[in-house]
């Protein structure tokens, strides 16, 4: 656990652990977190936890959960109105055309193939997606990027980086050719937001998985400690 009080729980999600929404016989971040709360505080019956941010199963890092309905409502509104600053780290193949920039695309879900595609503004189901990135270093044909989301679309970072020819390492769904099991080289690293009850500014960070430093190519990049 990264942070815990009566209103919030922040965790560092492992690779390939779904956030929620899986069959009852499958483990998810939500079920693990509920078991943790039930055991630590000896709570009988159902434990309330509200997921206010999600990560794709292969993505690691910071996820916020609300321990009360009030905190859940306020945090959900903060995410909706873009009052939460979310920073990711990604290792991609190649190097972006510029060392820093903004990516804007329109994305459309393909439920049949469980993917997301880049489309045009007038397409049915199209949603605008926007992020900014900054190059932190390059080595051996790989680049480390810091990414800040402006919108929170499904698979957004993965699709947008692949679109500019820089697929995330390990992300075979979107063009990555190099193995990075478990998961992919995308990590929810930092979040800045206002505490939903105390109204104090907060900044939380999630350490990178050890798998990043064990991967030969990735370990050559300037990874944060």
Q: Where are the domains of the chain?
A: 3-214
Active site residue ranges = 56
Task: Write out the E strands in 67-167.
Answer: 85-93, 100-110, 115-119, 127-139, 142-149
Q: How far apart are the first and last CA of the chain?
A: 18
pTM: 0.95
Q: What per-residue confidence (pLDDT) applies to 112? A: 87
Contacts of 180 (CB under 8 A, 6+ apart): 169, 170, 171, 211, 215, 218
Tell the CATH topology of 3-214.
Answer: Pseudouridine synthase (3.30.2350)
Q: What per-residue confidence (pLDDT) applies to 88? A: 98
Q: What per-residue confidence (pLDDT) applies to 33? A: 93
pLDDT in tens, 136-154: 999 999 999 999 999 999 9
| Neighbour tally for 32: CB within 10 Å | 13
Contacts of 81 (CB under 8 A, 6+ apart): none
Helix boundaries (H) for the chain: 29-40, 69-80, 156-163, 210-214
Q: What per-residue confidence (pLDDT) applies to 38? A: 92
For residue 176, give the DSSP letter: -
Token pair, residue 183, equals 């998961």
Q: What per-residue confidence (pLDDT) applies to 178? A: 87
Percent helix, percent strand, percent coil in the chain, to nearest 5: 20, 35, 45
pLDDT in tens, 66-90: 999 999 999 999 999 999 999 999 9
With a cut of 70, list the residues of the chain below it in pLDDT.
none
């Amino acid at each position: 656990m990264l942070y815990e009080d009566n209103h919030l729980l922040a965790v560092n999600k492992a690779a390939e652990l779904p956030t929620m929404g899986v069959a009852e016989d499958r483990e998810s971040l939500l079920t693990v977190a509920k078991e943790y709360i039930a055991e630590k505080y000896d709570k009988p019956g159902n434990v309330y936890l509200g997921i206010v941010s999600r990560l794709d199963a292969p993505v690691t890092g910071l996820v916020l959960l609300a321990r009360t309905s009030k905190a859940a409502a306020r945090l959900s509104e903060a995410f909706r109105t873009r009052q939460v600053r979310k920073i990711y780290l990604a290792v991609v193949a190649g190097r972006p055309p510029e060392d820093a920039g903004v990516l804007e695309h329109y994305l459309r879900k393909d439920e049949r193939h469980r993917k997301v595609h880049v489309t045009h503004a007038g397409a049915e189901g199209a949603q605008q997606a926007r992020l900014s990135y900054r190059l932190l270093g390059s080595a051996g044909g790989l680049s480390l990027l810091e990414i800040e989301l402006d919108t929170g679309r499904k698979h957004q970072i993965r699709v947008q980086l692949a679109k500019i020819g820089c697929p995330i390492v390990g992300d075979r769904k979107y063009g990555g050719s190099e193995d990075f099991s478990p998961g992919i080289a995308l990590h929810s690293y930092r979040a800045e937001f206002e505490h939903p009850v105390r109204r104090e500014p907060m900044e939380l960070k999630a350490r990178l998985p050890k798998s990043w430093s064990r991967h030969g190519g990735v370990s050559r990049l300037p990874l944060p400690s």
